[in-house]
Amino acid sequence: MSRFVQLHVLTNYPPSNLNRDDTGRPKTALVGDATRLRISSQSQKRAWRTSDIFTTALAGHVGTRTKRMGREVFDALKKAGSAEKAAREWARSIAGQFGKIKSDKKTENDEDLEIEQLAHFGTEEQAAIESLVQACAARNSAPTDEELKLLRKPQQAADIAMFGRMLADNPLFNVEAAVQVSHAITVHKSVVEDDYFSAVDDLNKTDKGAAHIGERGYGAGLFYLYVCINRELLQANLGGDAELTAKSLEAFLHALTKIAPTGMQNSHASRSYASYVLAERGDQQPRSLAQAFLKPVKPFENEDMLEKSVKELERRYVNFDKVYGACADDRYKFNVETGEGSLAELVAFVQE
Query: CA-CA distance, 69 to 67, in Å (whole number)?
Result: 6
pLDDT at position 209: 82
Query: CA-CA distance, 6 to 323, in Å (whole number)?
Result: 19
Could you list the beta-strand ranges (E) of the chain: 4-16, 28-31, 34-39, 64-66, 119-121, 179-181, 184-186, 193-199, 212-230, 276-282, 330-335
71-115 pLDDT per residue, tens: 999 999 999 999 999 999 999 999 999 999 998 877 767 889 999
- Helix spans in 110-241 (H): 123-139, 158-163, 231-237
pLDDT per residue as tens, the chain (352 positions):
799 999 999 999 999 999 999 999 999 999 999 999 999 999 999 999 999 999 999 999 999 999 999 999 999 999 999 999 999 999 999 999 999 999 887 776 788 999 999 999 999 999 999 999 999 999 999 999 999 999 999 999 999 999 999 998 889 999 999 999 999 999 999 999 998 888 988 888 888 888 888 888 999 999 999 999 999 999 999 999 999 999 999 999 999 999 999 998 988 999 999 999 999 999 999 999 999 999 999 988 788 999 999 999 999 999 999 999 999 999 999 999 999 999 999 999 999 9
Q: Quick check: pTM over 0.75?
A: yes
Please report, for residues 12, 141, 229, 315, the alpha-carbon distance to residue 342 in angstroms, rounded to integers and kept in the order given: 18, 57, 20, 22
Query: CA-CA distance, 299 to 295, in Å (whole number)?
Result: 12
> Comparing C-alpha atoms, which of 347, 158, 352 is closest to residue 248?
158
How do the domains of the chain map onto residue ranges? 4-58+176-351, 65-153
